[in-house]
């Protein structure tokens, strides 16, 4: 199998518009999660990592006829544009594919007082994927993946396979979601939303914060400017419950073991784990159990949800970008707010910045529908 190289990335979030800006905020301990009073999203004040009005305006920068694009689409455009500027991949080439990862795309259009036929035509996820492909003059069929909270990792695994089987030389993988009353009301109805900045893996965790962002990773079969390789990826299903995770973690552990197997690596070679860590009672418990089954309980793990919130379709990509930067800089971002372990089996959750030599990382996630996913990446 040919190697799959990581050649560029971007995070466009409330914390910053580039990976470097975002990582620098993380190093300073700054979080994008704030208390907001935005009645168009929720009737009461809430904690989330959403764009300010000022930052929303930045979404238009450099986009001709910006109003022709929805916020979701502009987020994707900004993130992809920045990632492209950092590498030599030609997005207009027939050998470059685009994969879009999202859970809800343009769903907030439903919240308009009058939903016109034109708006309805913009609702399907494949519509937005075509908009993005057209914006960048990419000639190929754009691929959309909607696999709940593992969408971003699913998209990266799909991209890896497209390159390995010589269907494409480069794949631009971009994910985004926008927080609106549709999504907020749903998570709130599950009583899953924390009334403060979330505390993954902590004894006092009380649910998630939602977040909006876009993130991009560009994969290539060419080594030029590559700083990492994507070595393995796998997805599994709990076959247990559509809205609650496995009680044992065995199925996420299956995905982890298969991803490590594909990467030709063993648990003792993993230097760092980028966790899903939603700070819900059951997710963190399941994840900790899976980490133990896979023999990774001593490996440092973090959750970025206290900084970015749960960014849904962007999450798998965004958190992989931070993990890649962690590997590049040999610097682990602490899980903000983590004080006392609150899961029934041991996991190693640093709460201060940790430096160590990092050559191989594991990214994991889980989502509604009982899906689990794992990726293994190495320093190039």
Partner 1 sequence: MTHSVNIATDPLSSGEGRGEVFITGYSIISNGGVEKDGHLVWKEPSAQHTDNFLVSAYRQMGLSYPKFFKMDNLSKLGLLASENLLSGTDLKGKYKPDEISVVFANASSSLDADQKYFDTIKDIASPALFVYTLPNIVIGEICIKNGFKGENAFFVFDKFEAKFLHQYVQTLMQQNTNKACIFGWLELIGDSYEAALFLLEKEAADKTNPFTLENIYKLYS
Binding region for partner 1 (CB under 8 A): 103-105, 107, 110-111, 123-127, 129-130, 141, 143-148, 154, 158, 161, 164-165, 167, 181-182, 185-190, 234-243, 248, 250-251, 253-254, 257-258, 261-262, 367-371
**CA-CA distance, 258 to 373, in Å (whole number)?**
10
Closest approach, Cβ 15 to partner 1, in A, equals: 26
SS3 per-residue string spanning 333-374: CCCCCCCCECCCCCCECCCCCEECCCCEEEEEEEECCCEEEE
Closest approach, Cβ 301 to partner 1, in A, equals: 21
Query: Toward partner 1, which CB reaches closer, 248 or 380?
Result: 248
Query: Toward partner 1, which CB reaches closer, 3 or 55?
Result: 3
β-bridge mates for residue 210, sequence order: 48, 310
Closest approach, Cβ 148 to partner 1, in A, equals: 5
Tokens 């939602």 belong to which residue?
210
Query: Toward partner 1, which CB reaches closer, 295 or 334?
Result: 295
DSSP-based three-state secondary structure for 28: coil
Q: Are 228 and 274 a contacting pair, CB within 8 Å?
A: no
- Residue length, the chain? 380
Closest approach, Cβ 378 to partner 1, in A, equals: 18
Extended beta strands in 19-161, E state:
34-36, 46-49, 96-101, 143-145
64 contacts: CB under 8 Å, gap ≥ 6: none
**CA-CA distance, 175 to 99, in Å (whole number)?**
8
Query: Toward partner 1, which CB reaches closer, 175 or 337?
Result: 175
Closest approach, Cβ 29 to partner 1, in A, equals: 33
**CA-CA distance, 205 to 282, in Å (whole number)?**
11
Closest approach, Cβ 185 to partner 1, in A, equals: 4
Instruction: Name which of 187, 150, 170 is nearest 279 in CA terms.
Output: 187
Query: Toward partner 1, which CB reaches closer, 93 or 188?
Result: 188
């Amino acid at each position: 199998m040919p190697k799959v190289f990581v050649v560029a990335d971007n995070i466009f979030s409330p914390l910053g518009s580039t990976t470097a800006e975002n990582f620098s905020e993380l190093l300073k301990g700054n979080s994008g999660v704030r208390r907001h009073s935005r009645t168009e999203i929720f009737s009461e004040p809430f904690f989330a990592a959403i764009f300010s009005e000022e930052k929303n305006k930045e979404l238009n920068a450099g986009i001709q006829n910006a109003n022709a694009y929805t916020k979701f689409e502009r987020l994707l455009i900004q993130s992809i544009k920045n990632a492209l500027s950092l590498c030599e991949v030609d997005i207009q080439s027939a050998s470059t594919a685009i994969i879009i990862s999202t859970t809800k795309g343009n769903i907030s259009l439903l919240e308009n007082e009058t939903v016109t036929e034109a708006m309805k035509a913009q609702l399907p996820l494949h519509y937005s994927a075509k908009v993005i492909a057209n914006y960048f003059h990419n000639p190929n069929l754009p691929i959309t993946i909607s696999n709940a909270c593992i969408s971003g990792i699913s998209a990266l695994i799909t991209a890896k396979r497209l390159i390995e089987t010589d269907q494409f030389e480069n794949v631009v993988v971009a994910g985004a979601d926008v927080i609106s009353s549709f999504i907020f009301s749903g998570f709130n109805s599950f009583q899953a939303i924390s009334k403060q900045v979330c505390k993954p893996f902590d004894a006092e965790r009380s649910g998630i914060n939602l977040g909006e962002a876009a993130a991009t990773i560009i994969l290539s079969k060419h080594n030029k400017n590559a700083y990492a390789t994507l070595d393995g990826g796998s997805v599994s299903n709990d076959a247990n419950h559509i809205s609650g995770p496995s009680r044992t973690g065995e199925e996420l552990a299956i995905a982890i073991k298969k991803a490590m197997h594909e990467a030709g690596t063993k648990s003792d070679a993993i230097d760092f784990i980028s966790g899903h860590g939603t700070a819900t009672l059951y997710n963190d418990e399941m994840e900790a159990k899976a980490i133990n089954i896979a023999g990774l309980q001593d490996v440092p793990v973090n959750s970025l949800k206290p900084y970015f919130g749960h960014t849904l379709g962007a999450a798998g990509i965004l958190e992989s970008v931070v993990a890649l930067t962690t590997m590049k800089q040999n610097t682990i971002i602490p899980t903000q707010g983590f004080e006392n372990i609150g899961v029934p089996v041991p996991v190693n959750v640093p709460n201060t910045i940790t430096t160590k030599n990092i050559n191989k990382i594991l990214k994991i996630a889980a989502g509604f529908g009982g899906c689990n996913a794992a990726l293994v990446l190495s320093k190039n």
